[in-house]
Structure 1
């Protein structure tokens, strides 16, 4: 009987005296590599014993699992160590659980260090894009809580949304502003469940204005998205409302053109633009009070 099972790591043995004389270690390892995501992530294959399991392949994955503190590991379990064609075919038809991002990074990093490779060398040897290798390894650069959040997302845990691409965005803040800002950025992503697009918008604002409060930026992005969604569902708002929205699109485009012209270097233009923004806010305040008898601050309290 051949099956996939979750096996207690402390029950796995690697005792030379337990292997049969004709044990084909190389054959089992080649088979394990052939069904794995990449060759160095060879699947764990074990033989069932009366008091545990005999390791036939997967040394690196077992070591990585122990390093991350896991007590169980997904493995292919067989009844004996004889490597027959029928057994090979059955194992190749199985769909073993994928390796989690942290274990994969640990194994890949160990391989690179043991072989004395650069990421470029590893890319060529493994047939994986260097950008992919860099992305896979990035999890090792961040604290345990972010690693666990990535693993929770990998395991489809409810509410867990952090991905390696989020860490990649944080890395750019890490290198340009600092690690503290990068971790605050990740905290905000986790707190507000930001999508990649929302995270990119937040990153751009933080890079441009590092002194901004990251929580306030995240809330602004979420509130804007929620309002956009609500307005998109609205019916019967009429042509007048549409014209108002079109006018704001025009204002946004003008602001984009002005900011791309490097206004930061021209204090007079910067002051003028700030006054224009403040004037627009005051006009909106007037519209809100005259139409609904409520200030914008009161509207925010009620709607956001």
Structure 2
């Protein structure tokens, strides 16, 4: 069976090429997956997340503000861009994409979104290029619907998953883990169920060496029915915002070890792409495709 991959054209809100957030990577990633035969059966297309899904993880007033494009300037500044109609739709579709990826993972064992990982958005509002916290919404939807009873969020984005940690701080059904650059954004950090902050310049060998204990501890403590895996590529040595020093080979091995650990234990894995920041959209998009290439081996 081929890997189930979720994509929607609205993932790309068509920012100007000079914008700090490399929005066009979502379109190019999908093209690469088709060109390289990873999505030769086509994509699964999600619905835009409805309001009642979003309100499971976010304050109703904030959800309404996004859906009506009335987000206040302070919140837009924290997010890093204006929340217009295209951004609002992009955020709803990306969130719907993670819900769909999770449901496909329950059916097939593994599935991946071509977006997602907007982990800085907290209950009261967005931040750090994150409008809605798609993983938090997806986990909340599945718990509310009784599709799962326990969730593990395994977040390897270089920036701590602070929004996710705060949303689920008092929910024992969701175990949050974040492995990130200690000196990187955000400041101050939130408190996940398990955090590991790494020093600047951490490379492949040192990064991979910490994974076995983190995986075993998270599995033992979370007892998950599903894992949401944030495979951010911003720990890469060439990432503009990363400060760590992983290579493409290191990222691929990270993904292989994380996905393999949970699939060996028959735990479904829903992958999201997380962060990655470069002016070179081709190189960045191919770096994001590492997740889908590795995941395809487990499909």
TM range (shorter): under 0.3
Q: Could you tell me the TM-score, scaled by structure 2's length?
A: 0.24
Compare the two structures and name the one with the higher helix fraction. Answer: 1
Greater length-normalized contact order (CA 8 Å, ≥ 6 residues apart): 2
Structure showing greater Rg: 1
Q: Could you tell me the TM-score, scaled by structure 1's length?
A: 0.24
